[in-house]
Amino acid sequence: MRMTIAVAVLLALLPLGLPPYAMTLLTEALIMALFAMSLDLMVGYARLISFGHAAAYGLGAYTCGNILLHTDIPLPFAVLMAGVFSGVVAIGVAWVCTLATGVSFSMLTLAFGQLLYAVAFKWTSVTGASDGLAGIPRTKGPFGTAFFGTKTGFYYLTMACLFGSFLFARAVVRSPFGAVLRGIRENEAKTLSLGYNTRLYKIAVVAMSYMLGGLAGALYAPFAGFANTELLFWLLSGQVLIMVIVGGTGTLVGPILGAVFFLLVQQQLSTYTDSWALVFGAIFILFVLFVPDGIMGLARRRRAH
């Protein structure tokens, strides 16, 4: 807890010292961090490996974009609503996907994600098809919500969402509910035989994961000012999974670091060379070979020495 507060204070003070471009990059990194952390809830704690988590992100982004474009609901509420909506949709998705387990579960999530992508391409009135939604505003409202429309304010909003979600996710995994999830991860048959309806638990965790992932997407839409089909594409699902693994699964903090690492390294590398992908790819391979448990594993090992 002390660590969490220290990091929160540090992040809260950063806008005082950082130039605008770094603030922008940091905000995006924190959004990605939230997205990666949301996936870890499924992957790390229940071994439900999703290949379609972009669906959560895209759903959140499109929902939030539409709310902001077509209603007067102020920014923070729109973001929350979009997150919740994403979670509600996930109940249906999870109901189908949890019919299967293991690799088949992963493939079902992929199928859903890609289906959503295909639908977004055709449902012009809601998604703007291939153009996406552009010019998404940061709608102001009463009670000082106007502040969140500014660069610094948006950063704090993102930070608040990330920390709120982190505390929520941590409470979930430390609760008896979380213990059952870990039971599913280690041995589903046994957990089932103990009298737990494991499928319901799985549906619940997928819904939570989608809700937080949707929250991340919902932040992205007003952050970038647009939402488009790329946000639903399987490539993003793959990338966020890599972020989780780089950070270390089942740690919540790890994926946050993984996402920040992924985004900042990619950004910095591509500033220096067109062949960034060569170096970036090599980093992943070396990572697997020498840092098998991800960034968190590395941190833990150093502490042990």
The residues binding another protein (CB under 8 A) are 19-22, 24-25, 28, 49, 96, 99-104, 107-108, 110-112, 114-115, 117-119, 121-122, 129-132, 134-135, 220, 224-226, 228, 230-231, 234-235, 238, 241-242, 245-246, 249, 267, 270-271, 274-278, 280-285, 287-289, 292
Closer to another protein by CB, 108 or 211: give it. 108
Closer to another protein by CB, 164 or 225: give it. 225
Closer to another protein by CB, 274 or 305: give it. 274
Tokens of 146: 């106007």
* Distance (Å, whole) CA 224 – CA 261: 20
* Distance (Å, whole) CA 37 – CA 2: 20
8 A C-beta contact, residue 3 and residue 166: no
Closer to another protein by CB, 29 or 169: give it. 29
Q: Which of 235, 208, 217 is nearest to 89 (CA)?
A: 208
Measure Cα distances from 114 to 110, 170, 205, 237 in Å. Answer: 6, 30, 21, 10
Least distance CB 144 / another protein (angstroms) = 22
* Distance (Å, whole) CA 5 – CA 174: 18
Helix axes 234-247, 276-290, angle to 10 degrees: 40
Least distance CB 175 / another protein (angstroms) = 25
Least distance CB 305 / another protein (angstroms) = 22
Closer to another protein by CB, 6 or 284: give it. 284
Closer to another protein by CB, 163 or 296: give it. 296
In 72-159, the DSSP E strands lie at 133-134
Least distance CB 291 / another protein (angstroms) = 10
8 A C-beta contact, residue 145 and residue 75: yes
Least distance CB 54 / another protein (angstroms) = 12
Closer to another protein by CB, 132 or 183: give it. 132
Closer to another protein by CB, 32 or 67: give it. 32
Least distance CB 192 / another protein (angstroms) = 15
* Distance (Å, whole) CA 33 – CA 298: 19
CA angle 128, 133, 134 (to 5 degrees): 135
Least distance CB 163 / another protein (angstroms) = 23
8 A C-beta contact, residue 227 and residue 133: yes
Least distance CB 68 / another protein (angstroms) = 13
Least distance CB 272 / another protein (angstroms) = 10
Closer to another protein by CB, 165 or 249: give it. 249
Q: Which of 156, 157, 162 is nearest to 33 (CA)?
A: 162
Buried-state track 261-288, b at ≥16 Cβ within 10 A, e below 16: bbbeebeebeeeeeebeeeeeebeeebe
Greatest alpha-carbon span in the chain: 58
